[in-house]
Structure 1
Amino acid sequence: MRISDMNWMQVEDYLKRDDRAVVPLGSTEQHAYLSLSVDSILSERVALEAAEPLGVAVFPVLAYGITPYFMAYPGTVSLKMSTYAAVVSDVLDSLRKAGFRRILLCNGHGGNSPAQTVGVEWMGANPGVVVRFHNWWNAPKTFAKVQEIDKVASHASWMENFPWTRLPNIRGPEIQKPMADLDMMRTKDPAGVRGVLGDGNFGGLYQRSDEDMQAIWDVAVAETRALIEGPWS
């Protein structure tokens, strides 16, 4: 149930029967040959597909996150950690004031992990509201499925290459890229990160079959849905 497809009166009516909401967290950053919006596309889609049979409200994706290391790649947008924490906190404040009491932050970007701490801290100041943080792509069952298919999986590699994150008429190389030295990469400034990564793929194949990707997606949707269903306490 997309909040974007509702008016305020419908939301008011929804809150009479349910107090759950899902807020997808994304990012706008380089993903090699894939869309710059990969993290936002995936977090919003998995949230919507998971919530739809339950009739739970899903808010629009927060499409900007924390990604300073990719700033040498044009199109990347990064928020300061303090800005991001304030935005997440303000969103939670708004949902609480409306009447939502069970909120799932469905995250699609590793750099957004501070949002989990924000949620825990925010709950301390707002008793009676439960905030869950869910990294959909590395949740236990989903990540196990990824590893079952191919253990060499990383940022901007095949594991993020779904039919809905590809760009028309653009395909990555037909090779398995060696894994980058991620420890070294983390010591670099943005220009240095680009020097280490080149096209942006951390390592691995650029694409696998649609059947493989659908198998992962089915697990991810089911795992996310189980969290939305609860129990919440």
Structure 2
Amino acid sequence: MKISDMNWLQVEEYLKTDDRAVVPLGCTEQHAYLSLSVDSILAERVAVEAAAPLGVPVFPVQAYGITPYFMAYPGTVSLKAETYLRLIADILDSLRRTGFRRILFVNGHGGNTPGQTACIEWMNANPDCRVRFHNWWNAPRTFAKVKEIDPVASHASWMENFPWTRLEGVVQPDRQKPMVDLERMRTFGPEGVREILGDGNFGGRYQRSDEEMNAIWSVALAETRELIENW
């Protein structure tokens, strides 16, 4: 259930019998022909749908992350790593103060992974709490399903192209883009990254069938739900 559909009295009642919470982490960055909010949309949706049968509250997605390499693409917003780590700690401090003790971050953006270190450091100072940091898209079973369908999958390619991340009226290219040289790309600043990437897809087809995407989504939901359920 979404925390936005609850009031504080209901949360207080929930905390009498349970101390779990889910916090989705996203980003606002270029995703080629897909929404700039792909990472936020997917993180929040997988969190909400996974938690729904368990009655565990899901907080609103943190929609800004660490993505300095895409700053040459209009619409991208990037937080400094220092800012992001403090933000994660502040979220955890707030949740603990109000009674939550088991917190799952469902992360949808690779650049946010330094937040996992912040979680570990925070647990050192708060041993009464447990925190998990779950990269839903490359969790073992989910990523295995992606590779089973098509091993050429990357940022802004078909693997992020779900019905709910597409934009109305935007037609996806019907081709497979060659994979970018990631090691070379990482040696450039934002302008160089844009020159190398072009439209923003790292490589692979732009879209696959909804049947294949729903198969991936089913695995991702089950894998995420197990983490919420089994502490």
TM-score, normalised to structure 2, is: 0.99
In structure 2, list runs of 5 or more residues that go unmatched: none
Q: Once the 2 structures are TM-superposed, how far is the Cα of residue 172 of structure 1 from its aligned partner?
A: 1.7
Residues 80-118 of structure 1, C-alpha deviations (whole Å, 9 max, x = no match): 000000111000000000100000010000000011000
Residues 13-42 of structure 1, C-alpha deviations (whole Å, 9 max, x = no match): 110111000000000000000000000000
Distance in 2 (CA, whole Å) between partners of 1:161 and 1:40 is 13
Q: Does 1:70 align with 2:70?
A: yes
Distance in 2 (CA, whole Å) between partners of 1:219 and 1:169 is 29
Find the residue that maps to 1:131 and give its secondary structure.
strand
Distance in 2 (CA, whole Å) between partners of 1:192 and 1:171 is 26
Distance in 1 (CA, whole Å) between partners of 2:158 and 2:24 is 22
Distance in 1 (CA, whole Å) between partners of 2:197 and 2:173 is 15
- Total equivalences in the alignment: 231
Equivalence map 1:193-208=2 (5 Å): 193-208=193-208
Q: Does 1:45 align with 2:45?
A: yes
Residues 166-194 of structure 1, C-alpha deviations (whole Å, 9 max, x = no match): 00011221000000111110000000000
Find the residue that maps to 2:24 and give its secondary structure.
strand
Q: Please name the residue that 1:29 is paired with.
A: 29
Distance in 2 (CA, whole Å) between partners of 1:127 and 1:58 is 23
One-letter code of the match for 1:124? N
Distance in 2 (CA, whole Å) between partners of 1:15 and 1:43 is 24
Residues 46-94 of structure 1, C-alpha deviations (whole Å, 9 max, x = no match): 0000000000010000000000000000000000000000111000000
Q: Please name the residue that 2:163 is paired with.
A: 163
Q: Please name the residue that 2:209 is paired with.
A: 209
One-letter code of the match for 2:74? P
Equivalence map 1:187-198=2 (5 Å): 187-198=187-198
Q: Please name the residue that 2:111 is paired with.
A: 111
RMSD: 0.4
In structure 1, list runs of 5 or more residues that go unmatched: none
TM-score, normalised to structure 1, is: 0.99
Residues 138-185 of structure 1, C-alpha deviations (whole Å, 9 max, x = no match): 000000000000000000000000000000011221000000111110
Find the residue that maps to 1:57 and give its secondary structure.
coil
Distance in 1 (CA, whole Å) between partners of 2:171 and 2:151 is 21
Find the residue that maps to 1:104 and give its secondary structure.
strand
The percentage of aligned residue pairs carrying the same residue is 76
Distance in 2 (CA, whole Å) between partners of 1:171 and 1:90 is 41
Distance in 1 (CA, whole Å) between partners of 2:197 and 2:180 is 7
Q: Please name the residue that 1:12 is paired with.
A: 12
Q: Please name the residue that 2:172 is paired with.
A: 172
Distance in 2 (CA, whole Å) between partners of 1:71 and 1:11 is 38
Distance in 1 (CA, whole Å) between partners of 2:12 and 2:184 is 51
Q: Please name the residue that 1:88 is paired with.
A: 88
Find the residue that maps to 1:58 and give its secondary structure.
coil
